[in-house]
Structure 1
């Protein structure tokens, strides 16, 4: 519902701009040829109707999504046109008409080019200035037009409006350019702590997701600041032999799907998904990555594992991408058991889709038993949906009374709805984090799996079949996994049911730390016009900006950090912070009441607002980005950087 309200408001704002232009044109004619005020009044009806409709939509947004998604409409977008409109109705004069027309255009602008929370005060001041200057110009123009002459009757205010639009577009272009300094402070992002040091702006490097890479060089605010450390110093253990070694060779190849279709793919060790890497928590893991012939370059990112920064696999930030014929060695110690995955972070928008990903399973102290299956929900090139490589229904034999664990991993760009029927089941873990005392979910309860996210589900195999379906698949060959005693049962016909809600699931275990926060950030995810990759585009923004214009969030080691992430735009945004496990405290103002909600990827849907917290205990320069790779590639990327940490990777040659 919230997404449809956002779309409706975009259409209404466009109509408002049109009626505003017509109103301003009529006000100008009325100024040049004075007549009865009733003539101007007739042109207010359409504008008033559109403003009234936008007020209704804003109230519905307030009811459906709370204050955060609707705030900028009530604080700026509606007052900037509603107040001049009321003035025009009370006194239908050309000056009031001109101010109302400019208010309509300003209201359109702040919705299509939304300001971030850090820019709201400036935006309000700018709007007041624009309206005041419009009124003054209209007054002076009216006095001048009291005389005769063709020059006096030209559409001067229209020319001023055109210049204002050109200046706004120019300002957007300049704001999108990486400059020598981006002063990223806690205050920039709605925090109340002292400012962090300035950070050198990211320089173009073509690193993660085909974008550029950051060069974070904090300037010490005081002489007592900790010594500067390079990302290269923040490695996994190098002083002892690893407990387990793997080699992954990235290469071009062909993947044959279960339907017989062949996909021109990229593979690890000749397969996709790549080999399962199974280790134990606390072991020192060494993985050697070899790039045989992937021209784009390859890295390995250990999604959900809080590795040391140098092992994070982000080109242009923690390393250069491995070129054909090159190798790179990663070392890390996973400190938590659970379901994780690995994937390249170079040109991820295309390379993961083509196959450069695999499962990383970290075993704990408990011995797993029964039927265990990793299930990747994946979209292959050509929008071919599959469970791994199974793009047609698959049957598997599982004896009744067998414990079953399905490790669900979304390696696609978008969230997937999974339908599970035939048995009650439990969600035992989210993003590798165990859920305390999970309860039974009735058959037909659906799971919304965030892009990059994971669910572990478990049940005891019943006598009848159990079907897992992927909602993105279409007939006649919907993607389904059916477990039955002989493996020959047909998949059940499932329809979308009630969605699983994590907020109250399980029993409370770890109390929330009540200590004060040292850093408090506000992130607003939005849609708007701007420049990305040198092109003027409609894109997804963070605090009104696109990378590389999104300032870095600065922290000190040991800081307790709070973030409020709000989506007031269209589309889901699975936000993924590297190197840190976060805890969700509330959603849309409702506190988490079940088991502590730990995650590494949070799907922020339209109108949703999440309050999360984490401890800054892993020094480095970390990506924080939308895991919808289309969004990330277009600029929905920022970074979290620790004071005193620098990166030498200004680029990797592309």
Structure 2
């Protein structure tokens, strides 16, 4: 993150300084006498040297980023911004600065024609103009339009744009110089200078506006989502360097008939709708969830216009491992329609709850029944995947708790804490369920407590547990082997969509748990006390942050020992300003693109698949792969001490991770950022098994609108 902030500051400072230098360089020939010219020249030299020093710092910053984080983080910058700036900096240092040195005399005499011609030489102002544009391009490459894995067109486009914008001022300064060479008026009247300057500025601005308008018109049109598609990017499929498949580049995936065609691995073709798993066994547990609009009040009295399942905030479905589970979803009055996605639970593809990919949206008056065997124990949650950025925010979520078939360390008591940020009539409010203040619970000393902490928010959240040492027993439903004691006052952070199971033994003193830092007095708190509740419980500043990459006994599986993977993918997470579905917004990109232009990842059943996440954007991204758990192998290029498994990996700015999974759950799966606002503007791609065909369509025609 330091490199990103420093890059923004340095490139913006360079742009501002070279813009100021451009004004001074343009005004050199209009000095009244030699002494004035010398003062202007000295100031111009000082500003240019300052800009060059900042440029040197920027180069060093990018070299440091290359060494620390790798080529994926700097490739776009090194291919687009660095060459242009470096050439201009060298030219400006050697040629332009040399022209300025010695310009002007110490007397007050008017400028001679020879001195005027030196001051009016086009090389100095044009170099300053070019450096202003090149610095602006470098700034834009950090904030506005990050270059990600640029091709030759992307590389050539930036100097071409700079040359186009330089055309008008170049004509004016060269014309002025030629007039001086031909004996014309050296200075002209103030009015004529103002008119010429205004004319040049106006023409340059018109050229810039024309470029912006053309890009805006093209952006609006090209960004509109199709009325209907099957979500796969068939024109751009990434096979990760693995065995070629028949799906990539073939016409087979466009049809909806399964037939007996076979893919390259001879697996029979199947439609998504047929990937239901074995449904013949009777259900051991049945539930019905009715989606409806509701009025909900938090403990503080703040009121919410919510959408809920069964009129409740975060209903809990509890089952035992191995049971066959059946959940009937009924939509009472949510006009846009609803679904249920089982977040982190590796259900058969047809039960995954993604409208337009694994089912049609459930419209008002309709129902859909999900059925799957609860193979995984642990803490999970469920939520609607129809316009999820809105529907999850409004309350369409709940907890899925799967108790293990054989409990090894059963807790005496447990508390489910679903952290959510609500939009209420009193503004945005954080809460555990509906508890947005202090909650108190009496617990006998010696009681073994389990806190199931689920973060349904779009951002990662920090949590404090103070008054007892504790253990992180599970991450995203997967048990940690030999979890060690974590010292009191050590905080932990959970990414959006993630879950931690926290266990501790109740001491003979209060134990405090809260969301946020010790200074965040408005965030919800739970006070566990043995006898008398404390009058004014206070939190201390945390002493450190839990790191899952060095905790317990690491996962050991075929992925942690693999020397070679069948397929390897790279996901560079970036950002740029642009249009999405006709609206101008900040785009959060994968490999420089947003859905539906992001490549579809193609795998074959049984493949060992490695993915590298590299976050060069300005925000964190909790990356969530449906239908599979990822094993984390490396962080920032170094092997983690204790590999762990997760379904939602939070990647901070400047971080990179290598993760791997086994392709053992055939289907078409979403792989997206679980900051659902990012997903809603296209930070989505799809994982596709090469023998699977689509059964549904997405778009306004069907009403299937997933994010």
Whole-angstrom CA distance in 1 between matches of 2:675 and 2:609: 24
Match of 2:547 among 501, 517, 522: 501
Name the residue aligned to 2:454: 409
CA distance in 2, matches of 1:162, 1:183: 33
Deviations 1:485-541 (A, max 9, x none): 236235342323310000010123514131522221111112211111312222322
Maintained 8 Å contact 1:580/1:614: yes
Correspondence for 1:633 among 663, 675, 680: 680
1:426-455 deviations in Å (ceiling 9; x for gaps): 111100001110100000110101111000
Gaps of 5+ in 2: 32-36, 97-122, 185-191
CA contact (8 A) 1:176 1:546 kept: no
Partner of 2:235: 183
SS of 2:509's equivalent? coil
Map residues 100-115 of structure 1 onto 2, 5 A cutoff.
Answer: 100-115=131-146
Corresponding residue of 2:500: 455
- Among 485, 489, 497, which residue is 1:444 paired with? 489
Task: Name the count of aligned residue pairs.
Answer: 634
Which consecutive unaligned segments of at least 5 residues does structure 1 have? 203-213
417, 425, 429: which one pairs with 1:384? 429
Moved more, 165-174 or 234-243: 165-174
Shift of 1:299: 0.6
1:329 is matched with 369
- Kindly indicate whether residue 7 of structure 2 is the aligned counterpart of residue 9 of structure 1: yes
CA root-mean-square deviation: 3.8
Secondary structure in 1 aligned to 2:150?
helix
Q: Is the 8 A contact 2:76 2:147 kept in 1?
A: no
Structure 1: distance between partners of 2:23 and 2:522:
58
Shift of 1:607: 0.9
1:262 to 274, 290, 303: 303
Preserved contact between residue 291 and residue 327 of structure 1 (Cα < 8 Å): yes
Going from structure 1 to structure 2, the CA distance change for 1:169 and 1:517 (only over 3 Å counts) comes to farther
Judge conservation of contact 1:20–1:101 (CA < 8 Å) in 2: yes
| Equivalent residue number for residue 588 of structure 2 | 540
Rounded Cα–Cα distance in structure 2 between residues aligned with 1:421 and 1:248: 37
Residues 105 and 392 from structure 1, CA distance in 2 versus in 1: closer, same or farther, beyond 3 angstroms?
Answer: closer
- Is the 2:377–2:404 Cα contact (8 Å) retained in structure 1? yes
The residue number in structure 2 matching 1:340 is 380
> In structure 2, what is the equivalent of residue 197 of structure 1?
248
Q: Distance in 2 between matches of 1:162 and 1:576?
A: 40
- Greater Rg, structure 1 or structure 2? 2
Contact 2:342–2:380 (Cα < 8 Å) also in 1:
yes
CA displacement 1:581-610 (0-9 Å, x = unmatched): 11110111121212x310000111111111
- Between 484-493 and 339-348, the greater mean CA deviation after superposition: 484-493
Q: Could you report, residue by residue, the CA deviation over 1:284-320 in whole angstroms, capped at 9, with x for unpaired residues?
A: 2110001111223111010111111111111122222
TM-score of the superposition, structure 2-length normalised?
Answer: 0.80
Match of 1:567 among 590, 612, 615: 615
Counting only pairs closer than 5 Å after superposition, residues 85-100 of structure 1 correspond to structure 2 as 85-92=89-96, 93=123, 96-97=127-128, 99-100=130-131
Would the alpha carbon gap of residues 634 and 42 (structure 1) be closer, same or farther in structure 2, given more than 3 Å must change?
A: same
Check conservation: 1:175, 1:549, Cα contact below 8 A: no
The match for 1:77 among 69, 76, 81 is: 81
Provide the residue aligned with 2:624 in structure 1.
576
| Residues 332, 272 of structure 1: alpha-carbon distance in 2 compared, 3 angstrom cutoff | same
Cα separation, 2, equivalents of 1:50 and 1:152 = 32
Stretch moving more, 166-175 or 434-443: 166-175
What does residue 287 of structure 2 align with? 246
Question: Which residue is 2:359 aligned to?
Answer: 319
Q: How much does 1:264 deviate?
A: 2.2
CA distance in 1, matches of 2:94, 2:521: 63
Structure 2 residue 459 is the aligned partner of structure 1 residue 428: no
Could you tell me whether the CA contact under 8 Å between 1:585 and 1:612 is conserved in 2?
yes
**Per-residue displacement from partner, 1:349-389 (whole Å, max 9, x unpaired)?**
22222221111111213333401111111111132111111
* CA displacement, residues 216-256 of structure 1 (integer Å, 9 cap, x when unaligned): 999x9988875543211111322231222111111122223
Query: Structure 1 residues 224 and 7 mapped into 2: Cα distance closer, same or farther (>3 Å)?
Result: closer
Is 1:653 equivalent to 2:703 in the alignment? yes
CA contact (8 A) 2:234 2:248 kept: no
2-structure distance, mates of 1:531, 1:289: 35
Q: 1:510 aligns with which of 520, 536, 556?
A: 556
Q: Which residue of 2 aligns with 1:617?
A: 664
Is 1:234 the counterpart of 2:275 in the alignment? yes
56-65 or 607-616: bigger deviation: 56-65
